[in-house]
Amino acid sequence: MTIQRPVSDGLKRLSVMQGNVEISRATDVMMTTVLGSCVACCMFDPVMRVGGMNHFLLSEPGPAEGSVKVDEHYGVYLMEVLINGMLSQGVRKQSIKAHLYGGANLHANMQKIGSANAQFAQDFLARENIQLFHMDLGGTTARRVDFIPAQGRVRCRVLKEQVEVARPVLQRPATDRGDVELF
């Protein structure tokens, strides 16, 4: 669900929730999200002045103690939706500059789900030859990310105080995944 609300600086805020992807070239839009163990990838093309953001959590605790299972299918899907959205705006894949944020391990006694998300995101960009322009990943605190897509400007603030980060959805619905329709 995306919430759009104007504020006093004239920028419309688009909240990018977990599992969502937003693309925009509007000069009056700021995308914003709060991240704990989730990762957000911001992509920007300085030539076309188009940007986009996704927000994902790919990992869940594995059956073995201390292990973390990464759902690569879902991650590749969300990254592909972001890239295709950029391409549909006339962007060339080679021009994309990416930023990665989040991937914190908020609780010391929990498995390192944030680290697994962060590693997936970095590996994905490397495999796809997409330039990683900046990243702020890991640590033990939540972050707020504000991204102006038409300018490629990102502000990432570490949230020092205890904040309520939306509980990640660890299990995604599997029923509609990969449905096949034969013509």
State in angstroms the smallest separation of the CB of 77 from another protein: 4
Looking at beta carbons only, is 79 or 145 nearer to another protein?
Answer: 79
- The verdict on 180 binding another protein (CB under 8 A) reads yes
State in angstroms the smallest separation of the CB of 149 from another protein: 20
Q: In this structure, are strands 50-56 and 39-45 parallel, antiparallel, or unpaired?
A: antiparallel
Q: What is residue 158's three-state secondary structure? A: strand
What token pair was written down for 101? 């944020």
Looking at beta carbons only, is 162 or 175 nearer to another protein?
Answer: 175
Residues facing residue 44 across a β-bridge: 51, 97
Residues facing residue 120 across a β-bridge: none
Contact 102, 121 (CB under 8 A): no
Restricting to residues 108-167, name those near another protein by CB under 8 A: 124, 127-128
Size of the site for another protein (CB under 8 A): 25
DSSP 87: H
Is residue 114 within a helix (H) or strand (E), and if so which, with residue range? helix 113-127
State in angstroms the smallest separation of the CB of 38 from another protein: 17
State in angstroms the smallest separation of the CB of 180 from another protein: 4
Task: Classify each residue of 122-153 as buried b or exposed e, where b means 16 or more C-beta atoms within 10 Å of its C-beta.
Answer: bebbeeeebeebebbbeeebbbbbbbbbbebe
Restricting to residues 47-106, name those near another protein by CB under 8 A: 72-74, 76-77, 79-81, 83-84, 87-88, 93
State in angstroms the smallest separation of the CB of 72 from another protein: 6
Looking at beta carbons only, is 7 or 180 nearer to another protein?
Answer: 180
Which positions lie near another protein, rule CB under 8 A?
Answer: 72-74, 76-77, 79-81, 83-84, 87-88, 93, 124, 127-128, 174, 176-183
